[in-house]
């Protein structure tokens, strides 16, 4: 991990999740995301303080543990305030929501209560709406980049746009098969939004900063379209959600090996099923205690 300067007042710390840093005239700083745990957050804090900056605020893009798990440590160590969207606040403050919704709203068993799905909770001090705003005297534009989660936000400062998990780098698409999205229509809207946005630099949470977001957007959109096409195609025959999940894994070379991976992939597949139902492309019916989906005749 190191602190990379991208223009006068904007930096990012590279790592498992790239963290953003925006510094005001007086050295007060806002951190974007907090890393997965105390160890990452400690390193980030050291980098910030060694540069002579004071951490005043932490903006959490969305309540996935790899983005927010380090926040409680930073709050305790520095007194920084935490900011998020209204929706993500609910999960940040009651982190059991993530493994809970993955497990159909039932209390998640121990294998799902791990550090990748269940972050320590953190109190949110301020809720941010899309548009121009200011935190601790530092001007930031908040962007609605939902889709990956329902309340994901990005920020733009001085032409640098931090786009969180709205896109992932092409090599990660190859590695993961199908990028995680909870809301396909919003994910597609966000890709269109990013493509039209004329920022000088885009910094995704997973991948390297790019000055041209178009190829990254294209690759992400293409994989969503391929997934939609595949699901629609196999639903010419009635299939259960589990069968659709199996098919998507086969199609994109995804090998399941644990509960975390299974339920995250299941969430993505349910997002595609929900989207196709809402678009009127597919229908559901029940037979012998099972729910089937198929394309509308």
- Nearest approach, Cβ of 239 to Zn ion (angstroms)? 28
Pairwise CA distance, residues 158 & 140, whole Å = 9
Report the residue closest to Zn ion, judged by CB. 64
Q: Which is nearer to Zn ion, 31 or 234 (CB)?
A: 31
Instruction: Tell how strand 54-59 and strand 10-13 pair up.
Output: unpaired
CA distance 169 to 213: 10
Minimum distance of Zn ion from residue 200's CB (angstroms):
24
Element (H, E) at 90: helix 86-93
Give the residue with the Cβ less far from Zn ion, 9 or 114. Answer: 114
Cβ-based neighbours of 62, under 8 Å, separated by 6 or more: 68, 84, 85, 88, 148, 149, 151, 152, 153, 164, 165
Comparing CB distances to Zn ion, the nearer of 209 and 238 is 209
Nearest distance from C-beta of residue 5 to Zn ion, angstroms: 25
CB 58 within 8 A of CB 81: yes
CB of 205 to Zn ion, least distance (A): 7
Considering the complex, state which of residue 22 and residue 117 has its C-beta at the smaller distance from Zn ion. 117
Nearer to Zn ion, 112 or 234 (CB): 112
Give the residue with the Cβ less far from Zn ion, 138 or 187.
187
Residues that bind Zn ion (CB under 5 A): 64, 165
Place of tokens 């804090």: 45
Cα 100 from Cα 69, distance rounded (Å): 17
Q: In the complex, what is the shortest distance from the CB of residue 229 to Zn ion, in angstroms, rounded to a whole number?
A: 24
Q: Quick check: 84 and 59 in contact, CB under 8 A?
A: yes
Taking the complex as a whole, how short is the minimal distance between the CB of residue 119 and Zn ion, in angstroms?
A: 11
**Sign of the C-alpha dihedral computed for residues 118, 69, 258 and 151 taken in this order:** positive
Q: Tell me the C-alpha distance between 159 and 151, whole Å.
A: 22
């Amino acid at each position: 991990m190191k602190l990379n300067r991208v223009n006068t007042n904007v930096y990012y710390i590279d790592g498992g999740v790239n963290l953003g840093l925006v510094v005001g005239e007086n050295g007060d700083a806002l951190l974007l995301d907090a890393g997965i745990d105390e160890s990452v957050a400690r390193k980030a804090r050291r980098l910030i303080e060694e540069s002579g900056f004071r951490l005043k605020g932490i903006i959490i893009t969305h309540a996935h543990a790899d983005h927010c798990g380090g926040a409680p440590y930073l709050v305790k160590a520095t007194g920084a305030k935490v900011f998020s969207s209204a929706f993500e606040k609910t999960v940040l403050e009651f982190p059991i929501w993530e493994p809970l919704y993955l497990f159909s709203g039932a209390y998640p068993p121990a294998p799902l209560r791990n550090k990748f799905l269940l972050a320590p909770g953190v109190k949110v001090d301020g809720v941010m709406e899309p548009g121009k705003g200011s935190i601790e005297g530092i001007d930031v534009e908040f962007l609605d980049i939902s889709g990956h989660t329902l309340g994901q936000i990005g920020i733009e400062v001085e032409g640098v746009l931090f786009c969180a998990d709205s896109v992932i780098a092409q090599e990660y698409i190859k590695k993961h098969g199908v990028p995680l999205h909870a809301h396909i229509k919003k994910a597609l809207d966000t890709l269109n939004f990013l493509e039209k946005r004329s920022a000088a630099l885009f910094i995704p949470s997973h991948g390297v900063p790019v000055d041209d977001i178009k190829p990254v957007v294209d690759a992400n959109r293409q994989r969503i379209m391929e997934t939609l096409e595949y699901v629609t195609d196999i639903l010419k025959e009635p299939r259960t959600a589990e069968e659709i999940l199996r098919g998507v894994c086969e199609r994109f070379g995804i090998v399941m090996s644990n509960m975390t991976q299974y339920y995250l992939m299941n969430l993505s597949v349910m997002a595609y099923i929900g989207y196709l139902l809402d678009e009127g492309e597919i229908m559901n019916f029940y037979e012998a205690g099972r729910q089937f989906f198929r394309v509308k005749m």
